Structure 1
């Protein structure tokens, strides 16, 4: 059975998938379909879709689409790829030792890291948590210098 990863380009599509994904983690990758690091993450997402299908749904969001800029601005997507997680329409956060708990910025070192993160978010969400601790060791978590606008 083929597992598809949807590509969303409209605000209504993003709204709908967030609202309609029930009792599963929604993994939204924000980025560009032409960016090499996004392509690398997308390949990992496609290959992991079957492994996480019982507890997660994966989709990509094209940040160049004018219609989704409200999400790009709201989640402050300044680096791509950025991955955001939801559970039952609630934004799930993850403490990975970086200043930003709202999203995963960058790629995962390996496919199993992605699966472990999604599973940790699912387990935390099932216990009613809105923030979970990253299950990965610090050396496998991408580090970025956050830029703050107007500071």
Structure 2
């Protein structure tokens, strides 16, 4: 199974709350450019997209959605900045076993994206993601272990 983990694009620094910070024009453009690189690498079809409920993640997905053929999109409250990577990893494994998707995209935040990458690819230290950064993981469901196969840094 292919798993893409994407950090949202650049966001405004100030808002009424962290959850309400909006994507900047630069954030939107860099996210589109990063996703175009995914498409060039053959990532066009997504069985499932999980998006954080925070505004900047929602806007990132809206900016890039037209570049993918996505079957199902869900807002996932567990993938906010301080979500539990172990719990999210277990959730992805459960989805993989039950629904058997071939590809999943998560649009989330630091520090979760780094910790989740390390959770799925245990030999990696949690990487720092730039805004709009994307990693691709080839994940073996039976072994519950992945291999990093794509690293896009706009």
Higher relative contact order (CA 8 A, sep 6+): 2
Superposed pair shares fold, TM > 0.5: no
TM-score by length of 1: 0.33
